[in-house]
Structure 1
Amino acid sequence: MKVIQAIRSALFYLLFIGQTAVVAIIVGTIALITGRTRLSWAMAVFWCRSNLVYLRVLAGVKTKVSGEENIPAGGCIIAAKHQSDWDVFAIFPHTGRPAYIVKKELMRIPFFGWAARSLDCIEVDRKKGAEAVPLMMAQAHAAIDRGCRIVIFPEGTRKAPLAPADYRQGVVRLYMELGVPVVPVALNSGLFWGRNSLVIWPGTAEARFLPAIEPGLAPDIFLERLKNAIESESDALILKAAEQGLARPIDAALQTRLDALKRQRSVTV
């Protein structure tokens, strides 16, 4: 089973990486000449949707996204759990005009960076720490003014399923600065496409947009509400998938976390 799934995964990566390079070259070239166009946007949407098709057909990963009715009209921040590359292109088509917060290093890649900038991506230089915040905020304000929705992964990096949460202050600063609602997004994608695994496992990766958190809360109250919403719903999605049966092997660390979650849920029910 693992050998077969490794072959299926390799075929997906081959198509995924090859198509990403082609799309980046085309959209990046367009960006250098004319900036953002309908064609570049259409190609970005195609890239997202086609990757989900390749995942389903080649690797057996189905996609389910729900809760779009919780995204308010107008500017907002979409704050998502981050467990897999799946998260990026599964969320993208449902966010209107998204402006992703991305690492500076990615924006420096030829063609890819040019394409990302033309698609409203916001650059953040993590090495500068607090010094990078004013530039990020300026870009975020400009994106909101253009009608974008800011998309951020509050933990800053991919996390293993049920790993301890580690929320950074970037999302709090955006919330306080922009004064717009924040939509939490829970997901379970790391069960199928893990951050440290080259093998992609069959199953249904699920993301859920949750009710928006209103602007104007104190920073600590906001962060606690955001964390509780994302973590509790992500835990629920993970537990549901585990109870339905996982094709992937479950290592000792994940099994321990699953057992602890089950005990916790049994006590609170």
Structure 2
Amino acid sequence: MTALISKLRGLIFKISFLLWTAIMALYSLPLMLVMQNPRDRLIPISRRWAHGVDWLLCRIVGVDVEIQGHEHLPAGGAYMLACKHQSQWDTSVVLRLFDNPAVILKQELLRIPVYGRFAHMLGMIAVDRDGGARALKAMLRAAAEAARQGRVLVIFPQGTRTRPGEAAPYQPGVAAIYRETGVPVVPATVNSGFVWPKHGWPRLVGHRPRPKIVLRFLPAIAPGLKRDAFMAELEQRIEGGTAQLEAETRRHLGL
């Protein structure tokens, strides 16, 4: 009976998530069709959508959400958040935490109907992985402009979602942006993959003890490091922080 209830709650979350996303997409569509530059109107919509995702996770799945390490965020000016990427949640939470973040994402995502236009109008930065040097220069120009505007740059430096405990190489684009923008970099780690896996929908529905998704900001890396030194320091901080957070999560969940 318990397993059946968990599956039912999981199905309710899936339906609710899709319905909530559709509602917010339809709500924003007229703005995107009529207004030439609706970013100021779309930012509150994106934040409301992200808050709704967390509400659904807490109420239906039975998951707590906690943001740690606020003291490591620079007080003023632009900076880059380089975050571990384990689930779809990682891309939604930044929309409610930061005012007008510039998320660096795959160009293929801009081809998704409605979502792609929404992301473009929010000023997200697309990366064409097959575009060569010209695409890299375009991405760097966009990142530098976002930094000049004082926006938080958000990048997932491995370029893909990983499962807890899974290794993946760090892509050189993060070092290029670090050099081009000259902003501090805040490494961050998450444990969202335990609850919302790389592929599929949230699990551990109704689990006891209650699961907790944690986003943990780590001490910032100052500008000015050489490329290899920066990449080594970034990977060491993120992977070390991830190992610690995953160990804490396994102990908490009894896994």
Give TM-score scaled by structure 1 length. 0.86
1:51 matched residue in structure 2: 53
Partner residue in 2 for 1:195:
198
Q: CA RMSD in A?
A: 1.7
Deviations along 1:17-72, one digit per CA (max 9) or x if unpaired, are 22222322332431342223443211111001110010111111210111122111
Is this contact kept in 2: 1:182–1:212, CA < 8 A?
Answer: yes
Cα deviation 1:93-152 (Å, max 9, x = unaligned):
222321101111211223211211121211111232444211111211221222211100
1:207 matched residue in structure 2? 215
The alpha carbon displacement at 1:244 in A equals: 1.6
Q: Residues of 1 paired with 2:3 and 2:154: CA distance?
A: 34
The question of whether the paired residues in 2 share the 8 Å contact of 1:9 and 1:200 is answered with yes
Query: 2:5 is matched with which residue?
Result: 4
Write the distance in 1 (CA, Å) between the matches of 2:241 and 2:229: 18
Give the drift of 1:199: 4.4
1:108 maps to amino acid: R
Q: Which residue, out of 49, 59, 62, partners 1:60?
A: 62
3-state SS of 1:194 partner = coil
Counterpart residue identity of residue 238, structure 1? E
Distance in 1, Cα, partners of 2:132 & 2:197:
28
- Partners of 2:78 and 2:225 lie apart in 1 by 17
CA 1:196–1:110: 2 relative to 1, 3 Å: closer
Counterpart of 1:127 in 2: which secondary structure? Answer: coil
Name structure 1 gaps, 5 residues minimum.
251-269
2:224 is matched with: 216
SS at match of 2:177: helix
| Counterpart AA for 2:65 | T
**Alignment match, 2:31:** 30
Aligned length: 247
Q: Any conservation in 2 of the 1:28–1:112 contact (CA below 8 Å)?
A: no
Using the alignment, how far apart are the partners of 1:4 and 1:131 within structure 2? 52
Give the match's secondary structure for 2:222. Answer: coil
Answer yes or no: is the 8 Å Cα contact 2:94–2:101 preserved in 1: no
Q: CA deviation digits over 1:151-172, x for unaligned, max 9? A: 0000111100011132111111
Provide the TM-score with structure 2 as the length reference. 0.90
Please list every run of 5 or more consecutive structure 2 residues that lacks an aligned counterpart in the other structure.
Answer: 206-210
The AA in structure 1 aligned to 2:217 is: F
For residues 3 and 228 of structure 1, the distance between their equivalents in structure 2, rounded to whole angstroms, comes to 42
CA distance in structure 2 between the aligned counterparts of 1:78 and 1:207, rounded to whole angstroms? 12
8 Å CA contact 2:110, 2:120 repeated in 1: yes
